[in-house]
Structure 1
């Protein structure tokens, strides 16, 4: 028994084999550095955002919340991590125009969309100034202490340049008018988008962020280009005498229309089947007529929004309409 005990004890770790942390040891530094790097790994929400971004090649890259619901099952963690992404200045949330749901756009895509909207607005200015519409009324507006009053002007609110001036004088005035009307895009992209989180904004809060020192001198005309570019949309009415606007991303309406058409086409495809269900593989390989997105992109939206149900069968995964439909 003694020999067996000694044999067993010989494999136990001795004191000299104990691991002791040595601050001067390179190996220990590598070990603890690797542990710190684990904290930098993307969480589930960040991974889901990147997955949708890879599938959506259009810009701006619109990410519906239904997409994220499909990829991230823990909705409480999802909402928390989405808010963290907003505070870090990575994404912005906007409300869908026809529902209470929301969508997300990367801030860099919002900035790019504003740049494109600015170029489009410049083109409209040139067309309006070089070929002014006849008898076009121009509404006037005023603002006092951040309160905007008066309806938006018809068209682009641009006054035609007098044609009795020389070409050089008209070109100078044209350049001055273009700079005056488009600088708001740069101010909105630089000062407002990175620093504001919310679905709606009052005119006072928006102008204070865009023009911290001169916002009292601004009028409705100064922000009207943003309305035409759909960076701020329909007025949501006045509250306590202050007019407010709903925020949006320029160009997102085109992407959202495609998503809606693709969603409708897949649902109609399922409805045409005998039992109102279809194999997932069949739907994924289906080439859509009304959307440039792959079917898998729309299926994530449908499943995350509970428009359809998914279940397993011996012959494969099946997508079916909910029983209440």
Structure 2
């Protein structure tokens, strides 16, 4: 039970506000829901716990690192992700926030995301906008990897109609494709409108590490830490902790009073 703090206590008021803001309204403790035995179960729960972003224009997504923190057997995670990808339950995306960063989105959510982008562009509709239908029907349905070559992209789009340069430009401008830096003839599949959240992801990672590094032993009780409010990221503390634990930047240790989160030694 939360200790009652007099309203005149600004510190207590701030603490309560931080707890309310970070809780996401579902009252679920991360300590009680940190690990799962099944990848799909973990994905569904983390999807349900995705932070409510103000001006939300991005469907819930999960990081592969978060799965690694939640399902202990990484080989199992990779195997089950591959199976779910091949069954077209979800898609994986290479993110530009780190060398090994991958985002995961359920396919239905991704298609909704595309529909939202197309709807926003409806006022400027021209004949090129048919490419979004081709992209969903022919490209996404047959190309399940995280990237695609220019020739393959044009070949698949041509199943819908005659492909023009404007079609490709439209897909890039809509945020569905990004050019690979190493080879400009290859593209990464991408999640539209995710840029601001990825910036927050990087800043939030640094903020959490900095917060713990300033502590005497570079550690904090999980129950206390998950109630902290982040200033640099609209993604909540729970989202960042799962990511940082799974990527190895933080580690957990069980103590008689609960789980402790520590900065991993280099």
TM-score range, shorter chain: 0.7 to 0.9
Residue of structure 2 equivalent to 1:221: 166
Cα separation, 1, equivalents of 2:94 and 2:198: 11
The reply to whether residue 298 of structure 1 matches residue 243 of structure 2 is: no
3-state SS of the aligned residue for 1:197? Answer: coil
- Change in Cα spacing, 1:235 to 1:271, as seen in structure 2 (3 Å) is closer
The reply to whether residue 233 of structure 1 matches residue 178 of structure 2 is: yes
Taking structure 1 as the reference length, the TM-score comes to 0.64
- Change in Cα spacing, 1:98 to 1:315, as seen in structure 2 (3 Å) is closer
Cα separation, 2, equivalents of 1:89 and 1:315: 43
Q: 1:91 Cα deviation (Å)?
A: 0.7
- Change in Cα spacing, 1:289 to 1:213, as seen in structure 2 (3 Å) is closer
Ranges in structure 1 where 5+ consecutive residues have no aligned partner: 1-41, 126-177
Residue of structure 1 equivalent to 2:155: 208
Cα separation, 2, equivalents of 1:204 and 1:73: 39
- Change in Cα spacing, 1:213 to 1:313, as seen in structure 2 (3 Å) is closer
Q: 1:306 Cα deviation (Å)?
A: 0.7
Structure with the greater alpha carbon radius of gyration:
1
Residue of structure 2 equivalent to 1:32: none
3-state SS of the aligned residue for 2:254? Answer: strand
Q: 1:238 Cα deviation (Å)?
A: 5.4
Residue 94 of structure 1 contacts residue 104 of structure 1 at CA under 8 Å; is this kept in 2? yes
3-state SS of the aligned residue for 2:153? Answer: helix
Taking structure 2 as the reference length, the TM-score comes to 0.77
Q: 1:119 Cα deviation (Å)?
A: 3.0
Residue of structure 1 equivalent to 2:145: 198
3-state SS of the aligned residue for 2:148? Answer: strand
| RMSD over equivalenced CA pairs, Å | 2.2
Residue of structure 1 equivalent to 2:189: 247
Residue of structure 1 equivalent to 2:61: 62
Ranges in structure 2 where 5+ consecutive residues have no aligned partner: 1-35
Q: What does the per-residue CA deviation read over 1:155-209, in whole Å, with 9 as the maximum and x for residues that have no partner?
A: xxxxxxxxxxxxxxxxxxxxxxx23132111221222223211121112212222
3-state SS of the aligned residue for 2:245? Answer: helix
Cα separation, 1, equivalents of 2:147 and 2:257: 49
Residue 69 of structure 2 contacts residue 243 of structure 2 at CA under 8 Å; is this kept in 1? yes
Residue 310 of structure 1 contacts residue 320 of structure 1 at CA under 8 Å; is this kept in 2? yes
Aligned length: 225
Residue of structure 2 equivalent to 1:100: 99
Residue 212 of structure 2 contacts residue 263 of structure 2 at CA under 8 Å; is this kept in 1? yes
3-state SS of the aligned residue for 2:121? Answer: helix
- Change in Cα spacing, 1:262 to 1:191, as seen in structure 2 (3 Å) is same
Residue 147 of structure 2 contacts residue 186 of structure 2 at CA under 8 Å; is this kept in 1? yes
Cα separation, 1, equivalents of 2:131 and 2:248: 41
